[in-house]
């Protein structure tokens, strides 16, 4: 089963939830950090990495003696990574999404596959827990291919917990698309609610089963609760605003390992997700 943890707003507790769920799964689990722009799960789980695989994308390389500047490659590139001018072709590899269209349309065979390393996938174990994360090269903006490379490690032999990046843009879509269930973590504040509604619209568009977790319950107001009730969204659990959880986080320690009794809420969340996934027929689309 693939369970994604997403949020809309950043800093609501995605990693806290994902790390603690993975640690009290009770079954063989895998933690996949899909926030490749700033992965942080390893700070809490401290895995030993056994594999390191750079991810290289094919980008156009031009042979100037063959290019007559016809510009068909630039016409077909929706990401504007190529410009044809009198002196030949100007290529911007950092804008390329590696679709290969320019190579297909070039009538003179002037383009070949160059290489651009966008990041690295590292995998290993933290005790029994399988661990995978991606690290995007600094300055690189194209996260989705690296996220997909991280997700390739998700196999059905384990409960795969995917820690998604914040927001609702392409990297989030790449992280949650096709998952069996999405948990949206929010905090009970106006900001939390605002970004939660965006995240809800996103997962509804992707037709993914989802539920909401309120973190730091006790601060703010009850508008998130009222919103969930109005929209008929299951509010699976409220994690209390507990200084001990924050202190454990600040030391890089998972709450379940340091705060007595706190694992109950995470086990309850997992049980509710499993019940819900069993009750929902498989999607068959967008997988």
Q: Which is nearer to another protein, 145 or 192 (CB)?
A: 145
Q: Which is nearer to another protein, 89 or 228 (CB)?
A: 89
Sole window of 8-16, 90-98, 103-111, 264-272 interacting with another protein (rule: CB under 8 A):
90-98
86 binds another protein (CB under 8 A): yes
111 binds another protein (CB under 8 A): no
Query: Please, what is the minimum distance in Å from the beta carbon of residue 96 to another protein?
Result: 10
Name which position in 40, 63, 76, 88 contacts another protein (CB under 8 A): 88
Q: Which is nearer to another protein, 27 or 85 (CB)?
A: 85
Site track for another protein across 46-85, x = CB under 8 A: -------------------------x--x----xxxxxxx
Q: Which is nearer to another protein, 48 or 141 (CB)?
A: 141
Q: Which is nearer to another protein, 83 or 272 (CB)?
A: 83
Do 172 and 164 form a contact (C-beta atoms < 8 A)?
yes
Q: Which is nearer to another protein, 81 or 224 (CB)?
A: 81
Query: Please, what is the minimum distance in Å from the beta carbon of residue 268 to another protein?
Result: 42
Query: Please, what is the minimum distance in Å from the beta carbon of residue 100 to another protein?
Result: 18
Distance (Å, whole) CA 234 – CA 228: 7
95 binds another protein (CB under 8 A): yes
DSSP per-residue string spanning the chain: -EEEEE-BSTTSSHHHHHHHHHHT-SS-EEEEE--TTS--HHHHH-PEEEEEEEEEEEEEEE-TTT-----HHHHH-TT--EEEETTEEEE-GGG-----HHHHH-TT--EEEEEEEEEEEEEEEETTEEEEEEEEPTT----HHHHHHHHTT--TTSEEEEEPPSBSSHHHHHHHTT-SEEEEEE-SSHHHHHHHHHHHHHHHHTT--EEEEEEEETBS-SHHHHHHHHTT--EEEEEE--HHHHHHHHTT--HHHHSTTTHHHHHHHHHHHHHHHHHSPP--S--
Query: Please, what is the minimum distance in Å from the beta carbon of residue 58 to another protein?
Result: 19
Q: Which is nearer to another protein, 43 or 90 (CB)?
A: 90
Q: Which is nearer to another protein, 6 or 91 (CB)?
A: 91
Query: Please, what is the minimum distance in Å from the beta carbon of residue 113 to another protein?
Result: 21
Do 55 and 122 form a contact (C-beta atoms < 8 A)?
no
Number of residues that bind another protein (CB under 8 A): 15
Do 244 and 211 form a contact (C-beta atoms < 8 A)?
no
Query: Please, what is the minimum distance in Å from the beta carbon of residue 87 to another protein?
Result: 5
Burial class (CB in 10 A: 0-12, 13-18, 19+), 73: buried
Query: Please, what is the minimum distance in Å from the beta carbon of residue 73 to another protein?
Result: 11
Name which position in 48, 65, 87, 156 contacts another protein (CB under 8 A): 87
Positions that interact with another protein (CB under 8 A) = 71, 74, 79-88, 90, 92, 95
């Amino acid at each position: 089963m693939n369970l994604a943890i997403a949020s809309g707003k950043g800093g609501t507790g995605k990693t806290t939830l994902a790390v603690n769920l993975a640690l009290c799964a009770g079954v063989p689990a895998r933690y996949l950090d899909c926030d490749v722009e700033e992965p942080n799960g390893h700070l809490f789980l401290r895995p030993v990495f056994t594999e390191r695989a750079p991810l290289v994308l094919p980008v156009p390389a031009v042979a100037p003696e063959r290019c007559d500047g016809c510009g068909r490659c630039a016409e077909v590139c929706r990401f504007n990574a190529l410009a044809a001018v009198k002196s030949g072709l100007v290529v911007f590899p950092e804008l390329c999404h590696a679709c290969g269209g320019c190579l297909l349309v070039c009538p003179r065979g002037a383009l070949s596959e160059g290489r651009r390393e966008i990041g690295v996938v590292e995998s290993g174990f933290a005790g029994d827990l399988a661990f995978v994360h991606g690290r995007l090269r600094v300055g690189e903006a194209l996260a989705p291919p690296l996220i997909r490379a991280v997700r390739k490690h998700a196999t059905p032999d384990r409960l795969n917990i995917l820690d998604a990046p914040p927001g609702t843009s392409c990297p989030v879509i790449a992280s949650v698309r096709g998952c069996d269930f999405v948990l949206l973590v929010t905090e009970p504040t106006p900001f939390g609610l605002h970004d939660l509604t965006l995240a809800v619209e996103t997962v509804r568009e992707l037709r993914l089963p989802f539920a909401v977790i309120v973190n730091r319950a006790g601060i703010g107001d009850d508008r998130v609760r009222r919103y969930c009730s109005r929209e008929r969204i299951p509010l699976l659990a409220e994690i209390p605003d507990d200084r001990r959880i924050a202190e454990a986080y600040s030391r890089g320690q998972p709450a379940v390992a340091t705060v007595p009794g706190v694992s109950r809420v995470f086990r309850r969340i997992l049980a509710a997700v499993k019940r819900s996934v069993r009750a929902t027929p498989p999607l068959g689309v967008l997988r």
